[in-house]
Structure 1
Amino acid sequence: MLTFRRPDDLPVVLPALVDQARSVAGTARARVLVVDNDPARSAEATVAGIAADIAAGIAADTAAGTGYGDIEVAYACERAPGIAAARNRALRESEDSDLLVFIDDDERPSAHWLRELLRTLLDTGASAAVGPVVSEFAVEPDPWIAAGEFFVRRRLPTGTTVDVAATNNLLLDLAFVRRHGLAFDTGLGAFGGEDTLFTRQIVALGGSIVWCAEAVVTDVVPVKRLTRRWVVQRAFSSGNGWSMTSLILTRSPLRRGRLRARLTASGLVRIAGGAVRLSRGTVLRSTRDRAKGVRTIARGAGMVSGAFGYAYQEYRRD
């Protein structure tokens, strides 16, 4: 679990992750690793205190014959800024592990989350398994945001093969990762899209990513993200990241030129389609059409800007 200055989330999610680790104790030995991306090590004391409480509880359970053995809670500080650097630190800290699962510090795992991810990976022999993310809001979203479905993510049947995934609910086969020397691109650390590139590389190298519908995590959305500006910027970032990673994956200058043209055309089609829907929504006073039109325009604009080399710094730190 990566974290950056979210002290209120740690006491909630860490015990939940320990419970997840204990739930698979009969199948695998697991530990919980917290990678703090704050050079000031702001999460260290909180993690240490929680780890001590958890260790005491596990020891008591073990003594009573009801425990699942020792579950380690480990802490590492990655001083280099950027989410890609923090993810790479997690890879380095897991050199002795066979599998690595990522979850964000503002997410909450469902009851059998880890067990289901592990089962899906082992049953399919895939290189990675990914699960759905659903949102829970700190306050009721603006009706415009709800109508635009800005926080609605894809849901697929278990076993479906996908060609890209986010790393906020992703289990990796580290043997595949090591065999191909994969790492997160630190050049994307401030921009986002590092997970898009990483998982697309898995597929490009002959690996597979499978969907596990039962491995649900809940994303706790704070008030600051429930604004029209934030959700539109996220839609722009999504399109921008897709174009950027597509170009990175294409090495031939000739093919890159053709791809740039296709990405531009696709982005322009989205902008035009979004504009039509926005206009229709304005005339018909449809909040849904207005919001979805703006979302489509933003994603299309992101694709076009990415095709021409602009990179939106979603994770910039001032």
Structure 2
Amino acid sequence: MQDVSAVPRAHDSAGAAIRIAICIPTYRRNDLLRLCLAAVASLRPPDGSRLLVLIADNDASGGARAVWKESMQSSAMQTFYFVEPRRGLCCIRNRLVQEALRTGAAWIAFVDDDEQPAPDWLQAHMHSLSASGADVSCGPVILRASGAVIGAEPDSGSVPDATPRSPRFVACNNVLFRRKLIAEQGLRFDPLFNFTGGEDFDFFEASRRCGNRHIWTAAAQVYESLTPERSTLRYLFHRHWSGAMTRVLQQRKWQGAGMVWPRFLLKICGKLLGGTASLLFALLPPHRRAMEDCIKRYASAWGYLCGLLNLYRERYR
């Protein structure tokens, strides 16, 4: 365990185990971080590998330091804790990948501080990557409440789908990728998304444009606890509204302003029509799932419009 301002640079030796750096950004969610680190400490390393844990605290006061010490003091893994005082998602993720390079890691994994990876999480990712020769592997985030599995995050695909495929989007809540994305291709998280979110989707879109191959590994599962505030319809609306806004921001970056208006105006019309149909179904008789679908569609339509009008909410500032 090391509490550092910067990770010491590693010196490779012949025949050394392959290093995998597990990157965990955190900000004032100590109870959830404690659960995350307990799961990380129980990970089974892939054959011939050595796991390193990097925890970056975006709280300038170092509020997660005590949790890190308590959770990892008996772990055999080498762990590093450091504070990243510059606020924002991109600042903390860029700091983590930079420190991961200093460890000599050949592979870099990300998991969020409110998630718990399954014991075979990295084994499943590495098996898929070795078999396919791909550069990036992502997997499902499975929601559970009171220990019971209740479904998958909307952005993480279908949990039962074990068919190898190229995912539409890749997020940092469950991913393992090659060092070359950072060290050779120079990819970093764009500060444009520092406070809006969507920085991970943008990062892996840049990876795709570099020619890297992305795969979906259904067996590489992480679990997210569904907290009471995240089970409300208000949260559902906010999530899809903000996600739609950042999607417009991403498309404007990659395709130009002239392309986003016709594309997203059509999407807005489709979402409004679909949302109205879901609303009618939800009311006759009352049906919560249809109401949730209605909220998602209306929220996305409103988010697309806000994005087109450059009305962004910096929810991570």
TM bucket, shorter chain: 0.7 to 0.9
**1:196: how far off?**
1.1
1:4-39: CA deviation from partner (whole Å, max 9, x where unpaired): 11222333322321332x532x32122011111111
Residue deviations 1:226-250 (CA, integer Å, cap 9, x gap): 2211111001112112111111112
User: For the residues of structure 1 that align with 2:37 and 2:153, how far apart are their CA atoms?
Assistant: 24
Match of 1:28 among 16, 24, 49: 49
Moved over 4 A (4+): 149-153
Cα distance in 2 between the residues matched to 1:314 and 1:4: 13
The match for 1:7 is 30
Q: CA deviation at 1:137?
A: 2.3
Q: Larger helix proportion, structure 1 or 2?
A: 1
Q: Please state whether the residue corresponding to 1:53 is helix, strand or coil.
A: coil
Within the candidate set 142, 146, 151, 1:134 is matched to 142
Asked if structure 1 preserves the Cα contact closer than 8 Å seen for 2:140 and 2:153, the reply is: no
Cα-to-partner distance string for 1:172-207 (whole Å, 9 max, x where unaligned): 112133322111112212111101111111112211
Aligned AA (2:45):
S
Aligned to 1:262: 263
Gap change, CA 1:83 and 1:272, over 3 Å in 2: same
Superposed CA RMSD in Å reads 2.3
Query: Given the alignment of the two structures, is residue 104 of structure 1 paired with residue 126 of structure 2, yes or no?
Result: no
Paired residue for 1:288?
Answer: 289
| Sequence identity percentage | 25
Q: Does 1:170 align with 2:151?
A: no
Partner of 2:8: none
CA contact 1:166–1:195 (8 Å) conserved in 2 = yes
TM-score (norm: length of structure 2) = 0.84
Give the whole-Å Cα distance in 2 for the aligned partners of 1:150 and 1:281: 22
What is the aligned partner in structure 2 of residue 40 from structure 1?
61
Mapped to 1, the partners of 2:164 and 2:153 lie a distance apart of 23
2:231 to 226, 234, 241: 226
Which of these residues, 126, 151, 160, is aligned with residue 118 of structure 1? 126
> Post-superposition shift, 1:138?
5.3
Match of 1:82? 88
Decide whether aligned partners of structure 1 residues 50 and 111 sit closer, same or farther in structure 2, where only a CA change above 3 A counts.
closer
Gaps of 5+ in 2: 1-23
The CA distance in 1 between the partners of 2:120 and 2:153, in whole Å, is 23
Q: Deviations over 1:257-302 (max 9, x none)?
A: 1332211221222122212321342244333322211211111221
Q: Is this contact kept in 1: 2:248–2:307, CA < 8 A?
A: yes
Equivalent-residue separation in structure 2 for 1:45 and 1:177 (angstroms)? 30
Aligned to 2:10: none
Q: Which amino acid aligns with 2:138?
A: V
Aligned residues: 289
3-state SS, counterpart of residue 33 of structure 1: strand
The alignment's TM-score, normalised by the length of structure 1, stands at: 0.84
Shift of the 175–150 alpha-carbon distance from structure 1 to 2, 3 Å rule, reads closer
Q: Which moved more, 1:211-220 or 1:197-206?
A: 197-206
- Distance change (3 Å), C-alpha of 1:181 and 1:238: same
**Distance in structure 1 (CA, Å) of the matches to 2:238 and 2:35:** 29
2:100 counterpart residue number: 94
Indicate the larger mover: 280-289 or 171-180.
280-289
Please state which structure has a larger fraction of its residues in strand: 2
